[in-house]
Structure 1
Amino acid sequence: MTTRRAFLKSGGLALFGIGLGGLPSFLARAAETGNTLINPFKRRKVLVCIFQRGAMDGLMAVTPFNDQYLKAARPTLFMSAAKGGKGTPLIDLDGQFGLHPAMKAFEPMFLEKRLAIVHGVGSPNKTRSHFDAQDYMESGTPYSKGTPSGWLNRAVGLLGHEAATPFQAVSLTSSMPRSFYGDSPAVAINNLQDFSIQMRGNVKGASMAAKSFEDLYDQTSPGLLKETGKESFDAMKMLQKTDIKNYRPANNVVYPVSPLGNALKQIAQLIKMDVGMEVAFAESGGWDTHFNQGTEQGIFARNVSDLSNSIMAFWSDMSGYQDDVTLMTMTEFGRTVKQNGTGGTDHGRASCSFILGNDVNGGIVHQNIRPLSADNLEDGRDLAVSTDFRSMFSAVADKHLSINNDKVLFPDWKGEKITVMKG
């Protein structure tokens, strides 16, 4: 019975860690009918978070191109904003910082002041372990490894209302991210079409499979059914009766054929379905550029191209919903100022983040970066962390989701929010 209670508490989804081998029969039948369900949920604000796993080189994504120390430290990796020279120049944002040319898709949003960049952001914990740094950032407690919940799960708990839908917090990933661990309802959906779903990552050992959602409903005792609402089942029926495979994005948008592009496309679908989603999560991998990082071409250029093009496809697809959506990127740490001997960069400290939305204080590179001379570098090698990631996360979540409880959202943090949001 414990398993069934966990199922109900999680908002009605109990397909834990299983592959269903295609659509369940009840989903297939619903898709064939083409029927739609009247939306029972109130339209709410949505925060979309993208974790760039592997540690993005913020100094290459958004380069302080006047810094001669950086130029000297990167004889083959430094990129210039000067036009008419060798190679494609950086996109000059403000006379100080240049956007990597492969991220040209971001330029219009920056000029329209709907895209903000936070530079020098990172964790106060100096670990250079990917696993530990990601854990600290996703838990929101950089000095405590035993925190059972993630900061996004706590944010969901601070929204001020009970979840009327199992889709309040959704991660478009194959497994539950650390950010969503905790007591508030959250689901991980690897692919809407395949409908492979996992419950909260902290419900260890709880698994239940059924041929259909109706079967599971029928097997559940009436007493336990009182613990969940009809809205959860209505949301599930809405997902069942949507032709996910043949989704047509707005404005003839074509998403990049990549894991991130596919995830953001599915997040857009869920937002448009009005199933009550308020927090969404996606991932972008491959940022650990120790070898052959490249400049205008290469591994890094491909990654930032996919990141920016995927985000801008999503944003264009969100026409009509853009006032309700804010998107924020994050990465566990940055890369060394000095390039290494294999044409790459090693694990560093601070990086940069991108925040997109109509309520963003955009058109600005928010930063407090000092010249990259050896005496200004952290440990003599890295861009110093001048903005605690919690001051950025808190500013975005508080403003966009109307949360104002930093004691719960980020325990033991007493810092100030940065002014990356309007108002």
Structure 2
Amino acid sequence: MKGGAMAVVGTSVLPSFLIRSVLAQATTAQANGKRLVVLFQRGAADGLNVVVPYAEPNYYQMRPTIAVQKNQVLDLDGFFGLHPAMQPLKPLWDQGHLAIVHAAGLRDETRSHFDAQDYMESGTPGVKATSDGWLNRALRAEDQGHALHHATAFRAVAMGTQLPRTLQGMIPAVAVGNVQDFNVGGRNPSEQPVSTSFEAMYGGAVDTVLHGTGAETFEAVKMLKSTDPAHYSPATGANYPKGQFGDSMKQVAQLLKANLGVEAAFADIGGWDTHQNQGNTTGQLANRLKEFSEGIAAFWRDMGDQAKDVVVVTLSEFGRTARQNGTAGTDHGHANVMFVLGGPVKGRKVYGAWPGLADEQLHESRDLAVTTDFRQVLGEAAYKTFGARNLDMVFPGAQLKSTDFLNIISA
């Protein structure tokens, strides 16, 4: 309930969004059908091995055993190449749907996972007192100037049992632990007395906190149930990987395709903190990249014709050191790589200024330098997807303007 947002756990736990009205404002994204999906790679992915600067001689000098060799990368433009484990995303690049922003990230100097994730999700680097998330504020900025109407409770959804920092705030948002387990009366309503059913308990509530919201909330739950989530069948060829991330991406696709009015969706994937035995074409990072890319590629395939109105943005709290460490891994760094995928994306291009890996070009003599503030990418996505014109609201203190965008997404 932090920040006034809503949360739903997809089990028999009482949905805490009962205490909020399901009223929102008419929105630009609802009108044009556009949706934004944000994926957070928690743990600080090694951007230099994700999108390899294989034409940079210093890359190989700094990584004698973990570098991805030139003949192993999936060439993108003659300078950069994808890690071979990301083969599922290469067709999306070739088709012009996938763009990459290298040397992007947080300009704050922190090397703390907790602080960096908090700064990125709040959108206010260096400020710990921010109470809401940038994506929630983007939806609020979208609402400015629009008339009220009865909107869906599923406007903003996150996969998981807790609402992420990114979506906390004034705009109601829903955390869905498991779409298939979501049930009006709990996991096994037939085992519960009729008097304890969701509708019986809360539909006619007279408590001042619940008053006026019980029926609306029940309608929202009923809306989700009507999609028959337990029997969802992905599109042909949409082969999601096993595991939490694959499940999350499948459920995001399911919710987007169910016509529930979802505008913003969030999912995350951990396991990127590779201090030891990182590997090169095989190993820890390769395994994580395979799952990551397979999940995104399956989602894209699953969305079918609706993919033309979807934008997916990925980010991680910071990159990793340019030089490998003494245990064949990498430590906490600075700049990283972001992916932008979607129908309106001007893909097949690596955006951003490449700072170089010479000693004098490194940040603090150890890390890839940030040349693109992550808020430039997220801000453009919010501006062009939601029509969130008030960038000062979305990213307070950033002084971000539309002229700062990299023009990755078509208007």
Give a deviation string over 1:158-213, Cα, whole Å, max 9, x none. Answer: 2225561111110001211110111110111111122399xxxxxxxxxxxx7414
| Structure 2 counterparts to residues 236-247 of structure 1, below 5 A | 236-247=221-232
Give a deviation string over 1:56-104, Cα, whole Å, max 9, x none. Answer: 000000011011111101000111223xxxxxx1011000001001001
- Residue identity (%): 42
1:54 is matched with which residue?
43
Task: Give the alignment partner of residue 20 of structure 1, picking from 7, 12, 16.
Answer: 12
Residue 401 of structure 1, CA deviation:
1.7
1:377 is matched with which residue?
362
Residue 241 of structure 1, CA deviation:
2.6
Residue 279 (structure 1) aligned with residue 264 (structure 2): yes
Residue 253 (structure 1) aligned with residue 235 (structure 2): no
Contact persistence 1:122–1:387 (CA under 8 A) = yes
TM-score by length of structure 2 reads 0.86
Residue 270 of structure 1, CA deviation:
0.8
- 3-state SS, counterpart of residue 230 of structure 2: coil
Q: Relative to structure 1, is the Cα distance of residues 258 and 43 closer, same or farther in structure 2, using a 3 angstrom cutoff?
A: farther
Residue 309 (structure 1) aligned with residue 294 (structure 2): yes
- 3-state SS, counterpart of residue 300 of structure 1: helix
Residue 298 of structure 1, CA deviation:
0.6
- 3-state SS, counterpart of residue 204 of structure 2: helix
Give a deviation string over 1:118-152, Cα, whole Å, max 9, x none. Answer: 10011110100000000000000002110001001
For 2:169 and 2:321, the matched residues in 1 are separated by: 34
For 1:220 and 1:339, the matched residues in 2 are separated by: 62
Task: Give the alignment partner of residue 170 of structure 1, picking from 148, 157, 167.
Answer: 157
Give a deviation string over 1:365-408, Cα, whole Å, max 9, x none. Answer: 01211220111000000000110011110011111222111110
1:133 is matched with which residue?
116
Give a deviation string over 1:316-355, Cα, whole Å, max 9, x none. Answer: 0000211221111010000000000111000000110111
Contact persistence 1:189–1:196 (CA under 8 A) = no
For 1:213 and 1:79, the matched residues in 2 are separated by: 57
Q: What letter corresponds to residue 266 of structure 1 in structure 2?
A: Q
Q: Relative to structure 1, is the Cα distance of residues 214 and 171 closer, same or farther in structure 2, using a 3 angstrom cutoff?
A: farther
Residue 331 (structure 1) aligned with residue 320 (structure 2): no
| Structure 2 counterparts to residues 10-409 of structure 1, below 5 A | 20=12, 44-82=33-71, 89-160=72-143, 164-195=151-182, 211-220=197-206, 225-226=211-212, 233-409=218-394
Contact persistence 2:10–2:178 (CA under 8 A) = no
- 3-state SS, counterpart of residue 245 of structure 1: helix
Residue 229 of structure 1, CA deviation:
9.7
Structure 2: stretches of 5+ with no match in the other structure? 16-29, 185-195
Q: Relative to structure 1, is the Cα distance of residues 366 and 19 closer, same or farther in structure 2, using a 3 angstrom cutoff?
A: same
- 3-state SS, counterpart of residue 250 of structure 1: coil
1:34 is matched with which residue?
none
For 2:310 and 2:367, the matched residues in 1 are separated by: 34
Contact persistence 1:53–1:286 (CA under 8 A) = yes
Q: What letter corresponds to residue 419 of structure 1 in structure 2?
A: N
For 1:119 and 1:388, the matched residues in 2 are separated by: 11
- Report how many aligned residue pairs link the two structures: 379
For 2:38 and 2:352, the matched residues in 1 are separated by: 21
Residue 112 of structure 1, CA deviation:
1.2
Give a deviation string over 1:286-337, Cα, whole Å, max 9, x none. Answer: 0000011111111100111111110010000000211221111010000000
1:422 is matched with which residue?
410
2:193 is matched with which residue?
none
For 2:391 and 2:13, the matched residues in 1 are separated by: 43
For 1:236 and 1:253, the matched residues in 2 are separated by: 27
- 3-state SS, counterpart of residue 256 of structure 2: helix
Q: CA RMSD in A?
A: 2.6
- 3-state SS, counterpart of residue 398 of structure 1: helix
Contact persistence 1:335–1:348 (CA under 8 A) = yes
Q: What letter corresponds to residue 421 of structure 1 in structure 2?
A: I
For 1:43 and 1:195, the matched residues in 2 are separated by: 28
For 1:260 and 1:283, the matched residues in 2 are separated by: 7
Which contiguous aligned blocks of 4+ residues in structure 1 show a shift greater than 4 angstroms? 221-226, 228-233
Q: Relative to structure 1, is the Cα distance of residues 253 and 398 closer, same or farther in structure 2, using a 3 angstrom cutoff?
A: same
Residue 251 of structure 1, CA deviation:
1.9
1:201 is matched with which residue?
none
Structure 1: stretches of 5+ with no match in the other structure? 24-40, 83-88, 198-209
TM-score by length of structure 1 reads 0.84
Give a deviation string over 1:17-62, Cα, whole Å, max 9, x none. Answer: 7952799xxxxxxxxxxxxxxxxx8773110000000000000000
